[in-house]
Amino acid sequence: MARFRPGDRVRVLPNVVDTHHRTPAYVKGRVGRVHALSGSFHDPEDRAYGGSGLPKRELYLVGFGMRSLWGRRYRGGQKDRLLVDIYEQWLEPAGQPIEGQVDDER
């Protein structure tokens, strides 16, 4: 059962690990929104070491505002986004944005 749904605000765990995983460093600790459910797949973090990869893990296409990732250095439109597939074990609920604060998805 998928824990998150499209539109949910999620934070990528900031964990630094030495083992094989598919979470790019540049989105770790960042807040985005679930764009779509990508399906469930054998866990690459287990399969990389000869495991079965079971149980399968949910994968999500998560969207981040380019401005929130790169700040003012980003050269492009306000709407520009990055979408990246992130496994459920790397996501936690981010709650609602605090009023008055810059929305960190954009």
* Two tokens, residue 8: 């949910």
Binding mask 4-43 for another protein (x = CB under 8 A): ------------------xxx-x-----------xx-x--
Render 3-58 in DSSP notation, one character per residue. S--TT-EEEE-----SS-----GGGTT-EEEEEEEEEEE--HHHHTTT---PSPEE
Residue 44 and residue 80: Cα distance in Å, rounded? 29
Query: Which CB, 38 or 97, lies closer to another protein?
Result: 38
Shortest Cβ distance from residue 100 to another protein (Å)?
A: 25
Number of residues that bind another protein (CB under 8 A): 28
User: Any residues with CB less than 8 A from the CB of 86 and at least 6 apart, and which?
Assistant: 12, 23, 27, 59, 60, 62
Shortest Cβ distance from residue 99 to another protein (Å)?
A: 25
- Which parts of 45-104 interact with another protein (CB under 8 A)? 59, 61, 63, 66, 69-70, 73-77, 79-87
Q: Which residues bind another protein (CB under 8 A)?
A: 22-24, 26, 38-39, 41, 44, 59, 61, 63, 66, 69-70, 73-77, 79-87
